[in-house]
């Protein structure tokens, strides 16, 4: 069981909860700290001090005083009014991530909630009661207000949840599980919805998929290199020692390992002295994208152990401080950076697809099919890759450079970080399709060239593809095969195959 304290959560632990359903509890010392800060805040509430969001309205309404008898209703009204999202639901894995990350942030104690608030969040997670959260509506500044309000409704028995394979009211699910809805106290509604946990959860899952696809992109590229009889000098360590970007060097090592032992390896050929960039510059392009994704990983590692609501409670210093930790800019920028990086991996992969299907560039039958003309082969599979690449180019436009003031201009600069996260997730999804097309085309090229012995790793890639997708002798229905291969890549099955064979990629 994972025990939350607000400090020690990392991507690996989070994914075990999100994907593998590991159970979670609040760590005992963390619970004591949460209780201590709550008692301190309640002492403040019994006095006459004005504290934002506790005995005042919110945003532009912060000058409106709220009587002590209305503070509980204020928090309930906050959730009801702010649950104004729109669009499709966040998927189950993302919702689990949101629940986990919000509970972890509250576990630091600086949010001023009672321990029972965190316990109920974890009960939802452990009992797989997943709030229905529309994916659109956050501007990523005063936290992910709308989507987190939808999450929080379930705690008070309002809204809908996905439970035991069906959509039911939150109140019904809580009752079936013998759980009592919360009667919110001062600050608790605000503490639940002020935070960056929606963009962080989407980003965390996209990070995991990106890391898996980046390594598989190296593997598939090695098979394209074999099918196009590429030159190997571009991966020589000497080349990369003099431009010492760590991830560029890492990809070059991967490529050397993958094509090791290949009888298609050439250091020189009469017909060319160097390859096109989509083969020759794999370490530089894939490596640069890895750098961007690892930057996002570093930021997320800090963010998922951060306190991101407002105001913050510091009982040891006798302070209640209004600040801006809810602002999503620290995530919005690296999410956009990663989105551009992953779009580029698809961009260069599609260019390798074009080289494979174009007889003027490959020397192979047109569109990788014998009896072309009667058969179209992989012609339109390349169209699909091109379409996905074009869509990714649009999606890669940064969301973080936009800002639309909200709350009567009180919140006059916003991050749009949740939009950046959703765009990254879609780009990664599209990339799985692009790489699936490259995988099918590269295996077909190997068969058509009658290639000699393949490399140590590229041979495993070829076998992985052919165990699932047969040689294309004549035209057949391709969409299911592209989808099947994309699903295998999303589940990192190619990585598993390589690891089983002792060819683990960095």
**Chain segment 308-355, per-residue pLDDT in tens:** 998 999 999 999 999 999 999 999 999 999 999 999 999 999 999 999
Q: Rounded to an integer, what is the distance from CA 111 to the centroid of its chain?
A: 26
Percent of the chain surpassing pLDDT 90: 86
The yes-or-no verdict on residue 11 having pLDDT over 90 is yes
Q: Could you tell me if 143 and 63 lie in one domain?
A: yes
Instruction: Report the alpha-carbon distance of residue 234 to residue 280 in Å, rounded.
Output: 6
Q: According to the model, what pLDDT value does residue 50 have?
A: 74
Whether residues 189 and 268 fall in one domain:
no
227 and 149 together in one domain: no
Residues 12 and 30 in one domain: yes
Looking at residue 150, its pLDDT comes to: 98
What is the distance between the alpha carbons of residues 229 and 369, in angstroms, rounded to a whole number?
A: 18
Average pLDDT of the chain is 94
Q: What is the pLDDT of residues 382-414, one digit of tens each?
A: 999 999 999 999 999 999 999 999 888 888 899
Q: Which two tokens stand for residue 114?
A: 């009672």
Band of residue 102 on the pLDDT scale cut at 50, 70, 90: very high
Which long-range contacts does 15-24 make (Cβ < 8 Å, 24+ apart)?
15/204, 15/208, 17/96, 17/100, 17/125, 18/93, 18/96, 18/97, 18/100, 18/201, 18/204, 18/205, 19/93, 21/128, 23/126, 24/100, 24/103, 24/122, 24/125, 24/126
What distance in Å separates the CA atoms of residue 414 and residue 416, rounded to the nearest whole number? 6
Q: Provide the sign of the torsion angle of the four alpha carbons 349, 350, 352, 357, taken in this order.
A: positive
Residue 40 has a pLDDT of 92
Contact predicate 75/185, CB 8 Å = yes
**67 and 88 co-located in one domain:** yes
Segment 421-429 mean pLDDT: 98
The pLDDT value given to residue 65: 77
Q: Among 171, 195, 219, identify where a domain stops.
A: 195
Give residue 319's domain range. Answer: 203-500
Q: What is the pLDDT of residue 54?
A: 73
Catalytic residue, from 52, 265, 277, 337: name it: 52
Cα separation, 112 vs 411, in Å, equals 23
Q: Is residue 478 included in any domain, yes or no?
A: yes
Between 262 and 174, name the one with better pLDDT: 174
Per-residue pLDDT at 265: 66
CB atoms within 10 A of CB 22: 16
d(CA 371, CA 405): 60
Question: Quick one: angle between helices 145-153 and 71-82, nearest 10?
Answer: 110
Residues 146-168, mean pLDDT to the nearest whole number: 97
Domain assignment present for 30: yes
Residue 43 belongs to a domain with what CATH number?
1.10.275.10
CATH code at position 233: 1.20.200.10
Active-site annotation holds for 383: no
CA–CA dist 332, 419 (Å, integer)? 8
Q: Measured between alpha carbons, how far is 338 from 208 in angstroms, rounded to an integer?
A: 12
d(CA 189, CA 113): 9
- Asked if residue 377 lies in contact with residue 357, where contact means CB atoms within 8 angstroms, the answer is yes
In terms of domains, do 55 and 178 share one? yes
> Is 505 inside a domain boundary?
no
Same domain membership, residue 119 and residue 222? no
- Distance of alpha carbon 152 from alpha carbon 76, whole angstroms: 10
- Which has the closest alpha carbon to 305: 108, 122, 27? 108
**pLDDT at position 163, please?**
98
Q: Give the total number of structural domains in the chain.
A: 2
Instruction: Give CA–CA dist 419/331, Å, rounded.
Output: 11
Are both 49 and 130 inside the same structural domain?
yes
Find the farthest-apart pair of alpha carbons in the chain and give their distance in angstroms, rounded.
87
Nearest to 456 by CA among 225, 228, 260: 260
Alpha-carbon span 224 to 241, nearest angstrom = 25
* % of the chain beyond a pLDDT of 70: 97
Structural domain ending residue among the three candidates 174, 195, 216:
195
Query: Domain boundary residue among 136, 163, 195?
Result: 195
For residue 270, what pLDDT is reported?
Answer: 62
Residues 152 and 212 reside in one and the same domain? no
Looking at the structure, do residues 94 and 221 belong to the same domain, yes or no? Answer: no
219 in the same domain as 182 = no
**Is residue 170 in some structural domain?**
yes
The pTM of this model reads: 0.95
Domain annotation covers residue 150:
yes
Q: Are 219 and 255 in contact (CB under 8 A)?
A: no
pLDDT at 274: 87
**Does any domain span residue 111?**
yes
pLDDT tens for 264-307 read 766 556 667 789 999 999 999 999 999 999 999 999 999 999 99
SS3 161: strand
Looking at the fold, whether 235 and 352 belong to one and the same domain comes out as yes
Element (H or E) spanning 388, and its range? helix 379-395
pLDDT tens-digit profile of 16-72?
A: 999 999 999 999 999 999 999 999 998 887 766 777 767 776 666 667 777 777 778
User: CA nearest 331: which of 414, 415, 393, 394?
Assistant: 415
Q: Is residue 88 one of the residues assigned to a domain?
A: yes
Q: How far apart are CA 114 and CA 185, in angstroms?
A: 9
Residue at 121 is within a domain? yes
CA end-to-end span of the chain: 29
Q: Which candidate, 372, 352, 502, places its Cα nearest to that of 440?
A: 352
């Amino acid at each position: 069981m994972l025990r939350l304290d607000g400090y020690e959560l990392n991507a690996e632990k989070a994914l075990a909860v999100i994907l593998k359903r590991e159970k979670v509890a609040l760590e005992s010392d963390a619970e004591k700290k949460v209780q201590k800060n709550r008692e301190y805040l309640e002492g403040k509430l019994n006095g006459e001090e004005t504290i934002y969001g506790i005995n005042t309205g919110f945003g532009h309404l912060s000058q409106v005083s709220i009587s002590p008898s209305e503070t509980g209703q204020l928090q309930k009204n906050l959730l009801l009014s702010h649950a104004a999202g729109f669009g499709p639901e966040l998927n189950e894995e993302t919702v689990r991530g949101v629940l986990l990350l919000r509970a972890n942030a509250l576990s630091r104690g600086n949010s001023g909630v009672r321990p029972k608030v965190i316990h109920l969040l974890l009960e939802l997670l452990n009992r797989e009661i997943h709030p229905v959260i529309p994916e659109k509506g956050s501007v990523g500044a005063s936290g992910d207000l709308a989507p987190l309000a939808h999450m929080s409704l379930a705690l008070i028995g309002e809204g809908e949840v996905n439970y035991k394979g069906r959509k039911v009211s939150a109140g019904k699910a809580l009752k079936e599980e013998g759980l009592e809805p919360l009667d919110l106290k001062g600050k608790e509604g605000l503490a639940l919805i002020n935070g960056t946990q929606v963009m962080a959860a989407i980003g965390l899952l996209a990070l995991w998929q990106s890391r898996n696809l980046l390594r598989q992109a190296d593997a598939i590229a090695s098979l394209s290199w074999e099918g196009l009889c590429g030159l190997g000098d571009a991966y020589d360590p000497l080349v990369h020692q003099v431009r010492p970007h760590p991830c560029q060097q890492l990809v070059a090592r991967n490529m050397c390992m993958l094509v090791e032992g290949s009888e298609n390896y050439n250091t020189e050929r009469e017909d060319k002295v160097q390859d096109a960039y989509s083969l020759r510059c794999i370490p530089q392009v894939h490596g640069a994208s890895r750098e961007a994704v690892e930057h996002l990983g570093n930021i997320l590692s800090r963010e998922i152990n951060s306190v991101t609501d407002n105001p913050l409670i510091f009982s040891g210093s006798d302070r209640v401080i209004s600040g801006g930790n809810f602002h999503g800019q620290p995530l919005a920028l690296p999410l956009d950076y990663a989105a551009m990086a992953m779009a580029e991996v698809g961009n260069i992969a599609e260019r390798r697809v074009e080289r494979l299907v174009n007889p003027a560039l490959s020397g192979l039958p047109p569109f990788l099919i014998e009896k072309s003309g009667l058969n179209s082969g992989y012609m339109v599979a390349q169209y699909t890759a091109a379409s996905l690449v074009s869509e990714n180019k649009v999606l890669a436009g940064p969301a973080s450079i936009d800002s639309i003031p909200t709350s009567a201009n009180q919140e006059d600069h916003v991050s749009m970080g949740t939009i950046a996260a959703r765009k990254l997730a879609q780009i990664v999804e599209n990339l799985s399709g692009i790489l699936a097309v490259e995988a099918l085309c590269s295996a077909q090229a190997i068969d058509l060239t009658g290639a000699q012995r393949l490399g140590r790793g590229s041979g495993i890639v070829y076998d992985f593809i052919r165990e699932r997708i047969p040689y294309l002798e004549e035209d057949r229905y391709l969409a299911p095969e592209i989808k099947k291969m994309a699903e295998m890549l999303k589940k990192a099955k190619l990585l598993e195959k390589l690891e089983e064979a002792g060819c683990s990629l960095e």
